[in-house]
Amino acid sequence: MMYNVATWSGTNSRVTVKNITIKVSLLSSADKYMAILPIDTGRYGSPEIKLIFEERSRLRYQLDFEGVVANAQAQINIIPADVAREIVKIVNSGKVTLERVRELEANSDHDTAAVVEALSEKCSPKSKPWIHYGLTSNDIIDTTISMQMRDVFHIIEPKILNLASILANRSVEFRAQPAVGRTHGQHTSIISFGLKFAVWAAEMATHIERIEEGKKRFLLCKTLGVVGTGSLMGKRSLQVQKIVAKNLNLHSVDAATQVIPRERIAEIQFLLSLVGCTLDKIANEIRNLQRTELGEVAERFVKGQMGSSAVPVKRNPIKSEKVSSLARLLRSLVDVALDNIPLWHERDLSNSANERFTLPMGAILLDEMLISSISSIDNLKVNTHRLTSNLDMTNGQIYSEFVLDALVKKGIPRMTAYRDVQRVAFSVKNGQHFRDAIMKDSRIARNLSSEDLIYIFDPKNHLGASSQIINHVVTKVRITRKKYLHHESKPVL
Q: What is the DSSP string of 257-317?
A: SSS--HHHHHHHHHHHHHHHHHHHHHHHHHHHHTSTTT-SEE----TT--S-SS-TT----
CATH number of 397-456: 1.10.40.30
**Predicted pLDDT at 229:** 95
Active site residue: 25, 28, 29, 184, which one?
184
189 in catalytic set: no
Average pLDDT over residues 414-426: 95
- Is 184 designated active site? yes
Q: Between residues 28 and 301, which one has the greater pLDDT?
A: 301
Q: Could you confirm whether domain 52-130 is CATH 3.40.50.2000?
A: no
Catalytic residue among 124, 231, 308, 389: 308
pLDDT value of position 21: 47
Tell me the domain boundaries of the chain: 52-130, 397-456
Average pLDDT over residues 184-193: 96
How confident is residue 431, by pLDDT bands cut at 50, 70 and 90?
confident
57 phi, psi to nearest 5 deg: -65, -40
Tell me what pLDDT residue 381 has: 96
* Range in 1-5, 63-67, 86-90, 440-444 with the lowest mean pLDDT: 1-5
For residue 176, the one-letter residue type is A
Please state the pTM of the whole predicted model.
Answer: 0.89
Q: What pLDDT is stored for residue 242 in this prediction?
A: 97
Could you tell me the sign of the dihedral formed by the alpha carbons of 215, 366, 207, 324, in that order? negative
Confidence of residue 40 (pLDDT cuts 50, 70, 90): confident
Q: Is the separation of the CB atoms in 363 and 149 below 8 Å?
A: yes
Q: What percent of the chain has pLDDT over 90?
A: 84
User: How many contiguous H segments (helices) and E segments (strands) does the chain have?
Assistant: 19, 8
| Residue-level pLDDT at 4 | 39
Cβ atoms within 10 Å, residue 404: 17
How far is residue 237's CA from residue 1's CA, in Å, rounded to a whole number? 53
Q: Which residues is 457 bridged to in the sheet?
A: none
Residues recorded for the chain: 493
C-alpha dist (Å) from residue 388 to 108, 298, 306, 330, 392:
70, 16, 29, 37, 7
Element (H, E) at 24: strand 20-25
| C-alpha angle 31-36-38 in degrees, rounded to nearest 5 | 120
- Cα separation values, 240 from 70, 92, 123, 466, 493, Å: 9, 21, 22, 53, 15
Region 22-47 average pLDDT:
69
Is the pLDDT at 20 greater than 70? The verdict is no
